[in-house]
Structure 1
Amino acid sequence: MFNTGVYRQIYVTVVATLSIFISGMWLGWPSSVVEKFVKHETDFNATMDELSWIVSTMDLGNVISPLIAGNLMDMFGRKPSTAMLGPLFMITWALTLWVPTAWALYLARAMAGMGKGMSYTVVPVYLGEIASPAIRGALGSVFCFQLHFGFLVEAIVGPLVSYRTLNTMSAVVPVLFFAAVVWLPESPYYLLKRERRPEAAVCLQWFRGGGDVDHELDLMSENVRQEMENRATFRELFSSPKDMRALAIVVVACATQRAGGISCIMAYSALILPDNAPLLNKHQSVMLFAIMLVVVNSVAVVLVDRVGRKPLLFISEVGMGVVTLMFALFFYFCQTDGGGWFGWLPYLCHLSFACLFAAGVGFVPVVYLGEMFPVNIRSHCSAIASITLAFCSFVTNKIFLFVSNHYGFYVMFLLFTVVNFSGAFYTYMYAIETKGKTFQEIQEQLQDIVSPRREKSEHDDI
């Protein structure tokens, strides 16, 4: 049985990641409301051009927020920065209900993107700092489970209710999130960073369920002391081979996650899937896609602290590369002979992609993000990772229709294939395993990797 501390860590994880659940709802919202706009079932009418901007502005908001969030979490703390997301998301849903204009939805989606970017920046750091090493990977996996579950809720509920009812139901979640998150404790790492050891001891004891935490607190204090000897600037980050190695691992994983096809497959499933569905229609396939994201991610939560981060990430990237290659072959042959004889293939690929994405690349970058960086630069690295995710998502979403209309879907899926196999190669060659290791052990492992190269370089210079 789990002790009290584990249950408390699980509770904090569920509450904090409700911000990710809300972000997932906003990701799933277009798939439910675009058809309502086309059928004039909304509070106002929107042109197709306005709809395209309503969908894409979320990524624009996502790009600009991580650096702001990084400064906020260092200035005010991890918990207060997480709590700020509650009012922000309340405003986004209020705009959909009370200001029925396209510009209001542009603003709402941009603010939702800001909230998503801030969530991706703050929450992984918060969870990584409060979690015990034995369950840190599992708790980090809940992050992506909530994102997929939020998408699933909108995909299932959206077609069954009116536009206004959907927005009203969605607006309740940030209220509940804010009411719960304000009572959470602060991260002990942040309190030690601010030289508030007595408060850090109280918080750590709460997270561990009581008992003696002096030894763990001493280790944290020593880790913070060593890390804070260097100024927390981007210059120090980019001048440290150890931290640059960790940053490269996370950035490549994040780029593969968003540029490997998931953003476009989620946004354009209705266009990608052919009309001659073998068993399910397009809407049912999208719902099944969302369900598999949740189910497989739930299984991966159990496996990540047993199998490890690197194997799951590598297998996921290779599998996604195979699936996107099959997609590309299907669309290529569709241009030559119609492809009707294997119209079932894209539906199989669609479902397989969801499973493979959720099994590794969908959540491992977030787990790495909370594990691999010293506390004095963690917020900067988290911001860079969030910008990478947003930028890759925005670029692929914006070019997808243009490239597909002018050259064919197969060209985009070949691009996704290259991205996925390249990510798999990098993971195999350079990623590290962090399963069950403390922050100090991870830092020592990274230092051991880069030290031989530095010594060799210095020897060559002589």
Structure 2
Amino acid sequence: MTPEDREETQPLLRPPDGSAPLSRRVFLAAFAAALGPLSFGFVLGYSSPAIPSLRRAASPALRLDDAAASWFGAIVTLGAAAGGVLGGWLVDRAGRKLSLLLCTAPFVVGFAVITAAQNVWMLLGGRLLTGLACGIASLVAPVYISEISYPAVRGLLGSCVQLMVVTGILLAYLAGWVLEWRWLAVLGCAPASFMLLLMCYMPETPRFLLTRQRHQEAMAAMHFLWGSEQVQEEAPAGAEHQGFRLAQLRHPGIYKPFIIGVSLMAFQQLSGINAVMFYAETIFEKAKFKDSSLASVIVGIIQVLFTALAALIMDRAGRRLLLTLSGVVLVFSASAFGAYFRLMQGGPGNSSHVQLLSPLSVEPASASVGLAWLAVGSVCLFIAGFAVGWGPIPWLLMSEIFPLHVKGVATGVCVLTNWFMAFLVTKEFSSVMEVLRPYGAFWLASAFCILSVLFTLSCVPETKGKTLEEITAHFEGR
């Protein structure tokens, strides 16, 4: 039996089960790692309050026109796609902890460049750097948290990744009410700086240390995190030389989770979440909200509340059930949103999605407002449904389903898929709306949500209550 076979057929360690006393240190370590996703969320939310402020900038060199504003928001996804590739390389070679420490540098430097910006190019450069950090953090933080957690709390702690992302978005929205763009960028340095300080005192994951033959450090890490040193057997000899090879894709233990992980990331973006978020503020304006920026805050609060609910029930309800329920809610809410656009259509010759957002002149004002409230309800229901399942669970499953020796490459491909699809959907959604009309575009998103439900029921295994080694054994048919 080769060293590689021995690793794939026998678990490396046995973490505490649900009956063991909970160790507070594992929650502290998870919180430290989750500060990366908090910074990630702040980066995503930063553009919403910063762009209006930069449009009114006193210096002409800093003032954003429509094209520059579009790039200011979109360039983050390109940086994050590169960060996903870099993170997949780092997480296997530098380790989980060091990768998290390293990603703080582009967060802080990126926001510092934005703070000191003298022209639009410096603004875009800062956004690209923060996007790179987002890509690394979105990959490494879920992996670190899943490997330090034990089955009884892995769903709770893994869901906190997405919870911290939406909290960071909401924090940026709220801070944007009182801070102009430079001071908002200064505030953006705080979560990453705090993570750097806190992660210095946290251990590397025991599983990674065992694959590197660092047994004493693994023992110390297990004692710190779990209050125990429950090693079932020693790590296989030669584990440090293992890595991903294309030939391994023939094995069901590799290609099955690979297909599931990539598909989950694609379906997450094809649900239409970015398009719904894009139109949220306009929809709230049609419902006669006095302060249209209040829409962003309301959306942020809904995301935080329902993501927190998902985290609390994740280890009881299970991943498959929440994904299925979430998908069903997305189907109905996206369909209702499409129906709103269909009812607001101005006539057979009107194909502009911008015109379709305007109330019809022949329609009574009260009816227009009533339809707008239908859209508000659809948006809120869509965001709540997404936050309960398809928001946090693809990231959680990505960190659970891959064997240790291919985790870096596999999670890197998943993160790259997610960010590439986010960029593609955001950039091409307007073109789809021109061809299919707005109602057709959202009904297409509803169709993808139906496919996501069918995929969940037929392909996604339940990982609740299982160790990472047991999940690997499931895919290998053991």
TM-score normalised by L of structure 2: 0.87
Shift of 1:44: 1.9
Q: Distance in 2 between matches of 1:348 and 1:113?
A: 32
Q: Which residue is 1:202 aligned to?
A: 220
State the 1:264 CA deviation: 2.7
Are the structure 2 counterparts of residues 280 and 195 from structure 1 closer, same or farther at C-alpha, using a change threshold of 3 Å? Answer: farther
Structure 1 equivalent of residue 399 of structure 2: 370
Q: Does 1:391 align with 2:408?
A: no
For each residue in 1:378-414, what CA deviation from the matched residue of structure 2 results, as whole angstroms up to 9, or x when unmatched? Answer: 1111101101110110001111233335653223312
From 287, 310, 320, the equivalent of 2:297 is: 287
| Structure 1: runs of 5+ lacking an equivalent | 452-462
Structure 1 position 347 matched with structure 2 position 369 = no
| CA gap 1:183/1:236 in 2 versus in 1, 3 angstroms | farther
Aligned CA distance change for structure 1 residues 336 and 267 (closer, same or farther; 3 Å)? closer
Label 1:226 to 1:268 Cα distance change in 2 as closer, same or farther (>3 A). Answer: farther
Matched, 1:30 2:44: no
CA distance in 1, matches of 2:19, 2:37: 25
Q: 2:343 aligns with which of 319, 333, 346?
A: 333
Query: Residue in 2 aligned with 1:225?
Result: 236
**Percent same amino acid among aligned pairs?**
24
Give CA deviations for 1:16-44 in whole Å, capped at 9, x if unaligned.
11111111001111111122123336782
1:267 and 1:28, CA in 2 relative to 1: closer, same or farther beyond 3 A? Answer: farther
Aligned to 2:364: none
Matched residue type, 1:149: T
Is contact 2:88-2:408 (8 Å) kept? Answer: yes
Question: Alpha-carbon deviations, 1:139-174, whole Å to 9, x = none?
Answer: 100100000000000111102222222122222222
Given the alignment, which residue of 121, 131, 137 partners 1:119?
137
Q: 1:109, 1:408 → 2: CA distance?
A: 32
Residues 1:46 and 2:64 aligned together: yes
Query: For the structure 1 residues 190 and 165, does the alpha-carbon distance in structure 2 shift closer, same or farther, using more than 3 Å as the test?
Result: same
Which residue does 2:357 correspond to in 1?
A: none
> After superposition, what is the alpha-carbon deviation per residue over 1:296-323, rounded to whole angstroms, capped at 9, x for unaligned?
1111111110010110011111211211
Any conservation in 2 of the 1:249–1:430 contact (CA below 8 Å)? Answer: yes
Q: Secondary structure at the match of 2:151?
A: coil
For residue 72 of structure 1, report the CA deviation from its aligned partner. Answer: 1.3
Could you list the structure 1 runs, at least 4 aligned residues long, displaced by more than 6 angstroms after superposition: 1-4
- Structure 1, 78-87 or 2-11: larger mean CA deviation: 2-11
Instruction: Tell me by how many angstroms 1:241 deviates.
Output: 1.8
Q: CA distance change for structure 1 residues 47 and 278 in 2, over 3 Å: closer, same or farther?
A: closer
Identify if the C-alpha distance between structure 1 residues 274 and 331 changes in structure 2 by more than 3 Å, giving closer, same or farther.
farther
1:361 is paired with a residue whose SS is: coil
The worse-fitting range, judged by mean Cα deviation, of 427-436 and 333-342 is 333-342
| Deviation for aligned residue 1:231 | 4.1
Task: Determine helix, strand or coil for the equivalent of 1:217.
Answer: coil
Q: Is the CA contact (8 Å cut-off) linking 2:38 and 2:164 kept in structure 1?
A: yes
C-alpha spacing 1:233/1:87, structure 2 compared with 1 (3 Å)? same
What residue identity is the alignment partner of 2:371? F
For 2:414 and 2:237, locate their aligned partners in 1 and report how far apart those are by CA, in whole Å.
24
Q: Identify which range, 56-65 or 156-165, moves more after superposition.
A: 156-165
Report the Cα distance in structure 2 between the residues aligned to 1:19 and 1:276, rounded to whole angstroms: 36
CA contact (8 A) 2:115 2:183 kept: no
CA apart distance, 1:278: 5.0
| SS across alignment from 2:86 | helix
Aligned to 2:202: 184
Q: Which residue of 1 aligns with 2:408?
A: 379
Provide the rounded CA distance (Å) in 2 between the counterparts of 1:3 and 1:9.
13
Q: Distance in 2 between matches of 1:146 and 1:317?
A: 22
Kindly provide the amino acid, as one letter, of the partner of residue 104 in structure 1: M
Aligned residue number for residue 250 of structure 1? 261
* Structure 2: distance between partners of 1:172 and 1:161: 15
Are residues 433 and 206 of structure 1, via their aligned partners in 2, closer, same or farther at CA, if it must alter by over 3 Å? Answer: same
Q: Conserved in 2, the CA contact under 8 Å of 1:125 and 1:370?
A: yes
Q: Which amino acid aligns with 1:276?
A: K
Within a 5 Å distance, the mapping from 1:44-443 to structure 2 comes to 44-209=62-227, 211=228, 213=229, 216-218=230-232, 221=234, 225=236, 228=239, 231-271=242-282, 273=283, 275-277=285-287, 281-336=291-346, 338=360, 340=368, 341-404=370-433, 408-443=437-472
Letter in 2 for 1:441: E
**What is the CA–CA distance in structure 1 between the aligned matches of 2:333 and 2:26, rounded to whole Å?**
36
C-alpha distance in 2, partners of 1:46/1:158? 17
Query: Against the structure 1 CA distance between its residues 283 and 174, is the aligned structure 2 distance closer, same or farther, given a 3 Å change threshold?
Result: same
- Residues in 1 aligned to 2:36 and 2:19: alpha-carbon distance in whole angstroms: 26
Q: Equivalents in 1 of 2:240, 2:120: separation in Å?
A: 50
**Secondary structure of the corresponding residue to residue 435 of structure 1:** coil
Deviates more, 1:18-27 or 1:239-248: 239-248
Residue correspondence of structure 1 range 14-25 to structure 2 within 5 A: 14-25=31-42
> Contact between 1:95 and 1:104, CA under 8 Å: does it hold in 2?
yes
Q: Distance in 2 between matches of 1:237 and 1:230?
A: 15
Residue 230 of structure 1 deviates from its aligned partner by 9.3
Instruction: Judge conservation of contact 2:45–2:173 (CA < 8 Å) in 1.
Output: yes
C-alpha distance in structure 1 between counterparts of 2:451 and 2:53, whole Å: 39
SS at match of 2:64: coil
Equivalent residues of 2:213, 2:239 under 8 A apart:
no
Q: CA 1:311 to 1:96, structure 2 compared with 1: closer, same or farther past 3 Å?
A: same
**Does the CA-based 8 Å contact 1:227-1:374 persist in structure 2?**
no
Letter in 2 for 1:131: S
Report the equivalent of 1:459: none
Counterpart for residue 455 of structure 1: none
- How far off is 1:426 after superposition? 0.2
Say whether the 8 Å CA contact 2:339–2:439 is kept in structure 1.
yes
In structure 1, distance between residues paired with 2:290 and 2:202? 43
Asked if the contact 1:237/1:377 (under 8 Å) is kept, the reply is no
For 1:154 and 1:443, the matched residues in 2 are separated by 39
> Equivalents in 2 of 1:367, 1:201: separation in Å?
26
The Cα RMSD (Å) is 2.3
